[in-house]
Amino acid sequence: MRGVGKYMVLCCLGLLFLLVQAKAQEPYFGKNKVQYRHFDWYFIQTENFDIYYYKGAYHLAKFAADVLEDAYLQIKKELRYDLSKRVPVILYKS
């Protein structure tokens, strides 16, 4: 019976430790704000996608357009799924 009592005390202490740690994180939750810079956006329209990109990322956008259309054709063929509207895609050059 003594072993069970020690086990219960250790479990309670472990749980208390976890609760204290969770409470310590609470004031910081949601404090990370996205830092936006001003971007001049451009876009490419394909048959099914609107691909938005900013200056200097045209080649990336063109590559993404080709890959997206190819992937959509495969999904359409294999899963018999059609898009109901154009899909916007935002590319960041990072």
Better-predicted residue by pLDDT, 55 or 34: 55
Q: What is the pTM of this model?
A: 0.58
Residue 83 has pLDDT above 90, yes or no: no
Decide: 52 and 41 in contact? Cβ < 8 Å: yes
What pLDDT does 55 receive? Answer: 87
Burial label, 48 (beta-carbon count in 10 A; 0-12, 13-18, 19+): middle
Which range scores top for mean pLDDT: 20-24, 32-36, 89-93? 89-93
Over residues 64-78, mean pLDDT: 93
pLDDT grade for 38, boundaries at 50, 70 and 90: confident
